[in-house]
Every structure is written in C-alpha cells, then in structure tokens.
Structure 1
Amino acid sequence: MDLASTRRRAVLGASVGTLLEYYDYYLFGLAAAVVFPKTFFPSSDPVASELASFATFAVGFVLRPLGGIVLGHIADRAGRKTALIITIVSMGIATMLIGVLPGYDQIGVAAPICLVLLRLVQGFATGGEMGSATSLAIEHAPPDRRGLYGALLLSGSGVALFLSSGLMDLVSLLPDGQFRSWGWRIPFLLSVVLLVAGLVIRWKVPETPEFERARKAERPRRAPLLVVLRRPKMLVFGILFGFANSIGGYVVTTYGTAYLTGRGVSASVAYTATMVAAGVQIVLAPTWGALSDRIGRRPVFLGGCAALAVLIFPVFWLYNTENAVLAAVAMVLGFPVAVLAMSALSQTILSELFGTEARATGISMGYQFTAVLAGGFAPAISTALVAAGGGQAWGVCLYVIGACVLSGLSMLMLPDRAGQELGAK
C-alpha cells in the first residue's frame, strides 16, 4: 500500500470511529435535554427534572479523564489501534443498552441508576477516543497538513451530530406519547450499524510510523502519565485553553436545545436547528484546520474565541424569537462559525505539545480534563443561571464570555508549532 493510501485509511479509521463515539455522546445530550427528564427523572418541578437529567449528562464527564489516562497509556504502549478498538466497542455496547433501558415508571429508582452506570461507561470510552484517534491521524499526516488531518476528526464529529439530531428530529415527529415511550430509543439502537462499520475499518488501519519508531527505540520508556506530568505548564494551559470551546459548544447546542423547548418551541424545531449547525460543521471543520496550516494555530483559535464572545448575546436574542429559521441561524453562528474555529484545532494543538511516547496520554488529559471541568457541567450551570435570572439568559452569556477570556489568555501561553516536525518534545 502506498503512502497516500495509508494516510487516507488512517484518517478514515480515526474519523469513522470518532463519528460513532460522538454520535453516541451527542445522542445522550439531545435526549437529556428533551426525553430523560420525564422518562428517568419524573418530578412535579420541571426545573428539578431538567437539572437531574443534565446532572446525569455531566456524570459521563467524570470518568473521561480516567479513561484518557488508562486508554492513553494503552495507546502509547500497545498502540493507537488497540486503544481505538477498545473505545469503539465499549461505547457501542453502552449506547445500545441505553436504548433498551426501562424508564422510571417500569423499574423505579433502578432506571436512573442504570442510566448513570451506562453513562459512566460512555464517559470512560470517550476519554480514550480523541487522544488515540488524533495520534493516529496526526502521526500519519505530513507536517504542513496536520491542522487539516486533525480537523477531519471534527468533521466526523459533525456527521455524528447531524445524524443524531436528524434521527431525533425524525422520531420526535411521532405522537408525543409514542416518542417518549419508544420512539427516542430507535436512534440509540441504530448505533449498532456504526459500531460494526467502525470496527471493521479500524481493524484494517496500520499502526503509525511515529509510534513504530518509538517502540523500536532502545532508550528506556517511562510511563506516559509521568512524562506528561513532568511538563506541568503544557498540561495546565493545555487544559485551560479549551474552556471556551468546551463550554460554548455545550451551551449553544445541548443547553440551547433545552432553552428553545422550554420556551414552547417544538423538539423537532430545536433538533432541526442542531442538524443544520452540524451540516455546516462538516464543511467548516476542515476549512478552519487548513487555514491554521497556512497562517498558524494561534490566529485562527483567537479569532474563534473573540467571535464567540461577540456572538453569544445575539445567539440567545435569536433563540428568544422562537422562530425556527432564526434559531438555526443562531446555532450556526454560535457553533460552527465561532466554537468550531477553536475546537477544530484543539486536538492538533495538544498533539504538538507532547512527544510520541506520551502523545495519546497528553492529548487525552488536556482534552478530557477540559471536558470534565468546563463542558460537562455547562448545561446544568446554564439551567441554574437562567432560573436565577428569572428566565433570562444574560448570566449564561457572561459565563461564556468569561470562558473566552480565560481561553484566549491561555492560548497566548502555548507555543504555535504549525508546520514544524512532530518529533519528541
């Protein structure tokens, strides 16, 4: 197999697997916004049910750092491919089980407990996904196209969001009783198709040349976690720089869906807006990645950070119109236009901070600690801020702007290694 074909297969294997991982993860978030409050957390207080549902969503983030450390260690020691097969199988099985899980009315308190346990499995699997998948793609990429290769994983994530929101939109057209009893389960059960396809593709992907060279090196190999911890500055700022895109992404999409439906907008309209934003994401992700290869990671990232800070108030003003078209415009402006200019580069930036012997672990720790500290609790925090503000979203907007300031300052503290050789750092 020639080099170009190997690179294409590596990117396809990384992207398709990421598609499954994030299809499952986004699906849970969309269901948590609309279905789970009544199905698993029934209460006379809608806000309490929504908070409980989003708390379950947040629980999945708790195990993401642990999954990143454990599966990152496997990826850095046994190979990127081995870790990626573990992540895809774990995620696929957990998602299918959620699809057949009885609700609170059938098995009582056991229903939310089982939902939490399955969410924890999802979180553990997702924790190892991005570090391993990014390492696989980036280590196969030529130096002047690493931004593009890394961003293609976010195109896979965009396809996942498009499919998950599109399927939830479709089943939400059922009569409300049917949608809430069995219709929402269909997209969860369909994940088996992506599981089989992703597993077949990943099985055929060759290990990366960078990893093979590192494995054959005669020098003693330290534990990947210790290698990462010996560079605390890279790790700390590698966590903090992602706060804006992590918080912003979940506020605009996951919480945005709940915000719209809470104002009387139909679930179908909210899911359609998410689907439109995901369609734009598929195109814009590689665009932002390729642009970062030309002008550098820092200018593109800081541009997205500034755009989100400026656009977050208009996004919620447009949500407040309760107009389907304007809701879709708002989600496009907030997510693929602003947030994606940061998130499409995040995994590539992290990959360039760490050497081959600890790259998957370093990416996973930076990416997943950002997720658990920032994104995981963003919908629940947003729900509380809106409730405290009498139904107004100004508190949420200030919350996002604060995250943008933190991310912008942190990005200035990190090196821009676009176009440089990957080598050990």
Structure 2
Amino acid sequence: MLEYYDFVVYGAAAALVFPALFFPSGTSGLGVVAALATFGVGYIARPLGGIVLGHFGDRIGRKKVLLFTLVLMGGSSMGIGFLPTYEQVGLLAPVLLVVARLAQGFSAGGEAAGASTLTLEHSPVGKRGLFTSFTMSGCQAGTLLATLVFIPIASMPDDMLMAWGWRIPFWSSVAVIVLAYVVRSRLDETPVFEAEVSDDDVPKMPIMELFRTQWADVLRVVFASIFAIFQTIVTVFGVAYATSDEVGIDRAAILWVTVIANVVAVVMIPIAAMLSDRIGRRPVWMTSAILCAALVFVYFWAVSTGRLPLIYLVGALLLGVVYSGVNALWPAYFSELFAAPVRYSGFAIGSQFGFLLAGFAPSIGYLIMSDGVNGWIPVAVFAAVCGVVSALAVFTARETHDVPLDRLGKPRCVG
C-alpha cells in the first residue's frame, strides 16, 4: 500500500508541480522532461534494491526485509516533503530530490517481491492467485488514497500549492507508515522459509544459485514486467499531456481518472485472479496484455478530445478492467516461476529490471510525442509494443496455477 501511495503522489507531483519547483524557471518544456525523469530515476535503484534485498529475503526471511523496506520507503517519502526548492537552494534542490527518489526506488526493489512471496507461501491450495492478488488490493487502496489526497491539493490556488500545499501528501505518508508497520510486525514468517532453515537448505548466495538454475525465468520476468508501462504512461505521462496547453484539462479533473479506474480495479482484480486459478495464469495474462495494447490508443484519443465523461469511461475500461487481468496476476505468477530458495531474488531482480522501462516511460513519451492533435500516437505505439512483448514473454513461460507449492520452479532447478 505504501509503495503505491508514494508512487501516485510522486507521479502526480512530478507531472504537475515539480517542473516549476525544482528546476530553473523559463525552461518549462525541459522542466517537465526533467521532472518526469526524476520519477524514472527511482526505477534505476530498483534493480539494485532487488539484488540486495532479494538476497537477504532468501537468506534471513521475508518478514524482516519487508519491515526494512517499509521504514526506508516511508522515511524517504516524508523527506521529500521537507526538501527546499530550486528558488531556495539552486541546483542542490534537484540533487536532493534525486537522492530521496533513489532511496524510494531501492526500497521498492524488494517491496513487491517480499509481500508477494510471503502471501503466496501462506496461501491455500487452489487459491494462490486470489490470495496473492490481495497484495494488489492493498496497492489499489494506496493509489486511491494518494489520488484522493492529491485532488484537493491540485485544486489549490497556484501560490498556495507551490508554497506549501504540495508538501502535504508527502507528510501524510506517516499515517500509512504507522498502519503498515503495525500490520507487518504481526505477520508470521512463512512455513516454506522456516522449513528451508530447519533443513539447512538456505543458499549462501541466492543470486548465484538463481542464475545457475533459473536464468531463463529471470529473463521471462524481465520482459513480462514491462506491462507496467500502461500504468505509468496513463497516470504520469497522461496527466502531463492532459493538462498541457495542447489539451488544457483541469489538474484535479484528470486525476479522477485514477480514482475511477482504481475503484473498478478493486472489484476486477480478485475476479481476474480467481479466473486464473481456474483456467491458468497464461491465458488471462496474454489476453489482457493484448487488449491493453489496443485500448491505449482509444484512451489517448479520448484525452485529445478533452471530453471528460469519455476519458473517464475509457480510463476505467483500460486501467480498471483490462489492465487488472495482468495486474492481478504478477504477484502470484512471478513468485510461482521460482523455487523457494531463490524465489525472493528471482521475483525481485527480474521484475525490477523490467519495471525500469516503465519508470522512464513518461519522459520517453514526452520526448517522442509529436506536434498537433495526433501527437499522442507515437506514445500509444510505444506502449502497445510493450504490451505485445509482455504477452510474448508469458507465452514462452510454463503454466503454474496447478503446480503444488513444493514443486514450483523444480523442473528448472535440477542439477
């Protein structure tokens, strides 16, 4: 929940206020690109976080690492709310922003993998997809909370917003930190990891074991993970594009796309997960990824018209319904592809290298966008290609929904 709260708050701030606050005045276009790039900078640290935190997650347990990621993520997020602006300290301002964003990214590198593996290893037989999708329900709650916090902030007069209003969402993350810490501190370590410890089956160097036995699955996860581009393209680049002079939609109005889509997703995620428990992860994933590739064109066309009801409808269909078919599955599917001794590392490393592209997608989109009313088309093509690649990566992977927990990853781990 905290990761996605910070994801949405930072993304909204990067699109709406950071260009004016942390970069020189008189460079509006370059300021937007630079601010969106700081959003992507956090994703550079994610693979490193995946490597380091994945190692310790497989060595000392899922729960301990999850508590660490929570404290690091929360502390860096609150810190952003106290940063000085460019007007106050010059170039030191964007430097400090990047440092805080790198800390967020390092933490996020082990967050999703830890929560997903812990939940999967506690899940009942035949319902791993459903139970693991609850981690995404928490993410949707974080997204909803962050957007609802930011909407009234975005509606402030510009002088109040730029002076102090933008800091409130970052300070508010302290409430999410406290709640999440209480919940996580009460969790039990998974029986799977405890069995590894009792059998002395914990690898000394999980990453070496991972690439010795399951390097191909790591690559599959890398390419499958670029499905996340749809979220960043819509919620970050899409906000910057919609509020630009070219389209001119109100800041608060476009943020309601995220609210509506996530309300729909709260319902659709468990449905998609239950369907994958019945018919398999692969068919649900591939169908959803291809449909996302098609619908992204419809969404940006809707934004270019400036008609809010149409934008809300297509946004809900894209992010709320179709995207949920992938978003509900990756916590379970990525976990199931790997054997228990390297599960945390495999999930974390593969997914975070894949998410790297999604992190820079908003700035890439802004750079490849052309002029005119159809300037969004290159961005939609870019996103659609990523959706097809994700579907193809899953096509090459094996089905896992009906494989017993103690056999997951084993065919790839012989010898």
TM-score by length of 1: 0.92
Equivalence for 1:378:
361
Deviations 1:42-72 (A, max 9, x none): 3423221110001111100011011111111
Is the contact made by 1:319 and 1:330 (CA closer than 8 Å) also made in structure 2?
Answer: no
Change in Cα spacing, 1:42 to 1:325, as seen in structure 2 (3 Å) is farther
2:229 to 247, 253, 257: 247
Q: How far apart in 2 are the matches of 1:78 and 1:50?
A: 42
Is contact 1:54–1:379 with CA below 8 Å preserved after alignment? yes
Letter of the structure 2 residue corresponding to residue 261 of structure 1: T
Structural mapping, 1:17-96, within 5 Å: 19-96=1-78
Residues in 2 aligned to 1:190 and 1:218: alpha-carbon distance in whole angstroms: 43
CA distance in 2, matches of 1:59, 1:185: 20
Q: Is the 8 A contact 1:87 1:125 kept in 2?
A: yes
In 2, are the aligned partners of 1:87 and 1:126 still within 8 Å (CA)? Answer: yes
Match of 1:12 in 2: none
What secondary structure, in the 3-state scheme, does the structure 2 residue paired with 1:330 have? helix
Q: Which structure 1 segments of 5+ residues have no match? A: 1-18
The 3 A distance-change label for structure 1 pair 183 and 391 is farther
Give the superposition deviation at 1:219. 4.5
Question: 1:278 maps to which residue?
Answer: 262
Question: 8 Å contact 1:315–1:333 — kept in the other structure?
Answer: no
For 2:81, the aligned partner's letter is G
> C-alpha offsets along residues 192-244 of structure 1, whole Å, 9 cap, x if unaligned?
0110111111111010111100111134734111122122211111111122x
Give the CA deviation at 1:322: 1.3
Q: Name the CA distance, whole Å, in 2 between partners of 1:293 and 1:220.
A: 29
- What is the CA distance between 1:388 and its match in structure 2? 6.2
1:346 maps to which of 324, 330, 347: 330
The counterpart of 2:348, out of the listed 350, 353, 364, is: 364
Distance (whole Å) between structure 2 residues aligned to residue 315 and residue 109 of structure 1 = 37
The 5 Å alignment of 1:389-400 reads 392-400=375-383
Within the alignment, does 1:130 sit opposite 2:112 as a pair? yes
Q: Which residue of 1 aligns with 2:272?
A: 288
Matched, 1:265 2:255: no
The runs of 5 or more residues in structure 2 that have no matched partner are: 411-415
**Residue deviations 1:359-394, cap 9 Å, x none?**
11111011101111x201100111011146786111
1:214 matched residue in structure 2: 196
Range with bigger deviation, 83-92 or 224-233: 224-233
Separation (CA, whole Å) in 2 of partners of 1:219 and 1:129: 24
Contact 1:71 1:128 in 2 (8 A): yes
Hey, what does 2:413 align to over in structure 1?
A: none
Aligned equivalents of 1:312, 1:22: Cα separation in 2: 22
2:217 match: 234
Work out the CA distance in 2 between the residues paired with 1:403 and 1:312: 11
Residue range with higher mean Cα deviation, 324-333 or 255-264:
324-333
Q: Could you say if the C-alpha distance between residues 273 and 219 of structure 1 is closer, same or farther in structure 2, counting changes exceeding 3 Å?
A: closer
Residues 89-104 of structure 1: pairs in structure 2 closer than 5 A: 89-104=71-86
Aligned equivalents of 1:387 and 1:258: distance in 2? 14
CA distance in 2, matches of 1:220, 1:377: 35
Percent of residue pairs bearing the same amino acid type? 37
1:311 equivalent to 2:311? Answer no
Q: Which stretches of structure 1, 4 residues or longer, exceed 6 Å deviation after superposition?
A: 388-391
**Residue number in structure 1 paired with 2:148:** 166
Q: Which amino acid aligns with 1:161?
A: T
Matched, 1:423 2:406: yes
1:84 aligned counterpart, secondary structure: helix
Rate the CA distance shift 1:358–1:29 in 2: closer, same or farther, 3 A: same
Q: d(CA) in 2 for partners of 1:218 and 1:256?
A: 50
Task: Number of aligned residue pairs: give it.
Answer: 405
Residue 132 of structure 2 corresponds to 150
* Contact 1:156–1:282 (CA under 8 A) maintained in structure 2: no
Compute the displacement of 1:151 (Å). Answer: 1.4
2:11 touches 2:235 (CA, 8 Å); kept in 1?
A: no
Structure 1 contact 88–199 (Cα < 8 Å) conserved? yes
* Per-residue CA distance 1:259-279 (angstroms, 9 max, x = gap): 111121111011111111122
Q: Matched residues in 1 for 2:201 and 2:70: separation?
A: 32
RMSD value, Cα: 1.4
- Cα distance change, pair 391–40 in 1 and its aligned pair in 2 (3 A): farther
Q: In structure 1, give the amino acid aligned to 2:9.
A: L
- AA matched with 2:379: V
Amino acid at match of 1:381: I
1:157-197: CA deviation from partner (whole Å, max 9, x where unpaired) = 11111111111101122212111221111111010011011
Contact 2:202 2:341 in 1 (8 A): no
CA contact (8 A) 1:252 1:334 kept: no
